[in-house]
Amino acid sequence: MTRVDVEMVIAIDGPAASGKGTLARRLALHYGLPHLDTGLLYRAVALALIDADRDLADAAAAEDAARSLRAESLGDTRLRERAMGEAASVVSAIPAVRAALLDWQRRFAAAPGGAVLDGRDIGTVVCPDAPVKLFITASPEERAQRRYRELGGRGEPVTFEAVLADIVRRDARDADRAAAPLRIADDAVVIDTTDLDADGAFRAATAVVDTRRRVGN
């Protein structure tokens, strides 16, 4: 494990199933930093609404759920289910929900020594001053194939075509929403993982982080 010697916030953005979560966890372990999968926050809000039998598009109820969110709820195994990804995409488009969760994410990023956060708007909204910004992407077909294998491995009955349709739909929703749309920060380094395995993506990312650390020092 390589520990950072200065405060280092690594902001990682990208579309669904691009590999950013796996990469973020590995970078956090490598550099000895805490990690936050911010997508879990939105999945937890969606799950709270579903459990309360509320409409996902109910902005007031969604805001209340976001403001009442507790860290322990992020461990619910249901958050990893395919349906929660689609539901999270719906509630994440509600400006009041994003505002309610913004302070949570920024407090996490302010941890002594730094932190690794991955999501859709980390480098553009949550941590615009982060010294390291990565945008992880891949073709829709490759991302759908990865998600299809992941869901199949968990025993969820799904077809590749359905997963691809979900990916395309979520991409459009994330890019077109009024609040914090998915986009590449001006100073982010783009890593396309379409033809990279996990080790290749990790090597590319650590090269960027280490370069930024040398420049920062």
Count of C-beta atoms within a 10 Å radius of residue 6: 10
2 is in an annotated binding site: no
Please tell me what DSSP assigns to residue 159.
-
- The domain locations on the chain are 8-212
89 is in an annotated binding site: no
CA–CA gap between residue 123 and residue 117 (Å, rounded): 9
**According to the model, what pLDDT value does residue 3 have?**
46
pTM: predicted TM-score of the whole model, two decimal places: 0.88
CA–CA gap between residue 140 and residue 148 (Å, rounded): 12
Q: Where are the beta strands (DSSP E) in the chain?
A: 8-13, 35-37, 114-119, 132-137, 189-192
Distances (CA, A) of 96 to 64, 66, 114, 158: 9, 9, 27, 32
32 is in an annotated binding site: no
61 is in an annotated binding site: no
Pairing mode, strands 114-119 and 132-137:
unpaired
15 is in an annotated binding site: yes
**According to the model, what pLDDT value does residue 6 have?**
45
128 is in an annotated binding site: no
What is the dotted CATH code of the domain comprising 8-212?
Answer: 3.40.50.300
139 is in an annotated binding site: no
28 is in an annotated binding site: no
Which amino acid would we find at residue 132?
V
Mean pLDDT by 10 residues, the chain (217 residues): 62 94 96 95 96 96 95 92 87 92 93 93 95 97 94 88 93 85 94 96 97 72
**According to the model, what pLDDT value does residue 31 have?**
95
- Helix axis angle, 95-109 to 59-67, nearest 10°: 20
Q: Residue 136, SS3? A: strand
